[in-house]
Amino acid sequence: MNNDYLLLTPGPLSTSNTVKEAMLKDWCTWDDDYNLDIVQAIRSELCSLATSSPEYTVTLMQGSGTSSVESAIGTLIPNGGKLLVINNGAYGARILEIAQYLNIACSALNYSETQLPEVKDVEAALRSDPTITHVAMVHCETTTGILNPAKEISAVVNKHKKVMILDAMSSFGGIPFDIADWQIDVLISSANKCIQGVPGFGFVIAKKSLMHTAKGNARSLSLDLYAQWQTMEQHHGKWRFTSPTHVVRAFAQALTELKLEGGITARYQRYQKNQSLLVEGMQALGFKALLPKELQSPIITSFYSPSSPDYDFKRFYQKLKSLGFVIYPGKVSNADCFRIGNIGEVTPQDITNLLEAVTKAKYW
């Protein structure tokens, strides 16, 4: 069941054989063999991973991670609400685009893709515009790999009694934090990131108090987060529409494997080791990381493309792929880069093997 290559991407990512094996059986959504207890167990486990506070509840939502972001934005912001988006990358920009599509009043604090958002700017924006009701930002912007100061910004948002929405798509499960301690009201992530499942659903972890007041807000039928939550609450984990059965089973296995690894802290340590080895090895081969170490997350790293006229990303990519590794093109608007992820079923030995492959693929 092994792939021909390892995915060194921000997700979907390489999964274990046992996660893949969990999808080898077909399941009927209505049959006891599928066992809706598994959905309730997943919801409970996700809550436990996020916080020990009983204030929160979990809703699973079919589709991509963006579907879950859109369901949260479109359901938890009422008519008359206004969203402030803190944006320093493609995924912050996507939140802004979602709000615009849904005709939700919004404003933005825009930064360059290599710049950390400033707490003082958020403070100033909230003081100057009392109509803002919600604030959204991305924790780990995989545009570059930058890790944004979510805890500090959440504290300011909470001080002003606004709702803090954190897109933790690429950080939850791979970076330890407690959402209650960080004063985050809503967290959004996906099955196919640091939990190391496969694509097919995302999830929203939100304060119960917010969910209880969200009825009738949704701008979409299928992305009505409140209706999905109510169905799962009242019908023992039932999905409103077709359950992604294979993905659910794979995710349950992935949660078991996270626990066996030692939890989020142990996984974070592995990701950190992967990332440190990667940067040290790439620098030894003449590559330069886009971000300074203090801004870098352990999730994915951007490297400047070589300045040699003989360098061509497509050739480099194809050569690495033939040697067993798939990397990612760059997404930075003002720098020629490529990206290498180190989340998923990836070990330090895999990174060492990658560096040997880069040595072979480097012919400029």
Tokens of 149: 């100061």
Pick from 209, 172, 207, 206: which is nearest to 191 by CA? 172
Adjacency order of strands within the sheet including 134-138: 56-62, 201-207, 186-190, 163-167, 134-138, 82-87, 105-110
**To 10 degrees, the CA torsion angle through 183, 12, 296, 145?**
-90
Where are the alpha helices (H) located in the chain, listed in sequence order? Answer: 17-21, 37-50, 65-76, 90-101, 119-128, 150-159, 208-212, 225-234, 245-261, 263-284, 313-322, 348-361
Task: Give the N- to C-terminal CA distance of the chain in Å, as an integer.
Answer: 35
Known binding-site positions for substrate: 339
Q: What is the CA radius of gyration of the chain?
A: 21
Phi-psi region of 132 (alpha: psi -120 to 50; beta: other; left: phi over 0): beta
Q: CA-CA distances (angstroms) from residue 33 to 246, 250, 276, 339?
A: 13, 15, 44, 42
Residue 152 burial (CB < 10 Å; 0-12/13-18/19+)? Answer: middle
Binding residues: 339
Phi and psi at residue 278, in whole multiples of 5°? Answer: -60, -50
Paired with 338 in beta bridges are: 303, 329
Q: Who's near 144: CB < 8 A, 6+ residues apart?
A: 89, 113, 114, 290, 291, 302, 331, 332
